[in-house]
Amino acid sequence: MDEERIDQILDKHKRKESAVIQVLLEIQRENRWLPGEVLEMVSEKLGVPLSRIQQIVTFYKAFSVVPKGRHEIHVCMGTACHVRGAPRVLDKVEDFTGIKPGETTSDLKFSLTTVNCLGCCALGPVMEVDGKAHGKMAAAKTAEILRKYE
């Protein structure tokens, strides 16, 4: 992400120190992660110590300081999904992508995480890709859905 775009985001938030979380969220939404040099720029331009920014990005799970894939896969492992076969769905996602939860493919195509609840328990097991929930998942349907995101 270039400095000009970061300046635009900062200007949008009136370069207020109190908007640091919103600024970081917007940068990450566009960039998919927060590189160290971006954190340094935000620190300098907002007058917020870098240590404070690092505390924020390591405290909130919404932030990532490692590259994320273009497509984020979340597999619900909550009770309702678990008893309906979520572990088998997760196994198929791992087989298809070649990664485990918390990892990103080397081509930055997919990132995989497990979550405790996606809020649609009646549809379990649920796999979410790029914010779109795929309910009543069967392990056999997993690869078919993920192929659409290749």
Domain ranges of the chain: 3-59, 71-147
Q: Write out the chain in H/E/C secondary structure.
A: CCHHHHHHHHHHCCCCHHHHHHHHHHHHHHHCCCCHHHHHHHHHHHCCCHHHHHHHHHHCCCCCCCCCCCEEEEEECCHHHHHCCHHHHHHHHHHHHCCCCCCECCCCCEEEEEECCCCCHHHCCCEEECCEEECCCCHHHHHHHHHCCC
Of 3.40.50.300, 2.40.50.220, 3.40.30.10, 3.30.450.40, which CATH number belongs to 71-147? 3.40.30.10
pLDDT average, residue stretch 57-79: 93
Percent of the chain at pLDDT exceeding 70: 100
Q: How confident is the model at residue 78 (pLDDT cuts 50, 70, 90)?
A: very high
**Orientation angle between helical segments 36-46 and 3-12, nearest 10 degrees:** 50
- Contact in structure between 76 and 86 (CB atoms under 8 Å): yes
pLDDT average, residue stretch 22-46: 95
Model confidence at 62: pLDDT above 90: no
Task: State the virtual CA torsion across 48, 40, 56, 59 in degrees, nearest 10.
Answer: -160
Model confidence at 61: pLDDT above 90: no
Percent of the chain at pLDDT exceeding 90: 96
Looking at residue 22, its amino acid is Q
> What's the confidence (pLDDT) of residue 120?
93
Q: How confident is the model at residue 144 (pLDDT cuts 50, 70, 90)?
A: very high
Q: How confident is the model at residue 68 (pLDDT cuts 50, 70, 90)?
A: very high
> What's the confidence (pLDDT) of residue 1?
83
> What's the confidence (pLDDT) of residue 135?
97
Structure tokens at 97: 């992508």
The whole-chain average pLDDT of the chain stands at 95
Pairwise pLDDT comparison (147 vs 150), residue with the higher score: 147
> What's the confidence (pLDDT) of residue 83?
97
Predicted TM-score of the model (pTM): 0.79
> What's the confidence (pLDDT) of residue 129?
97
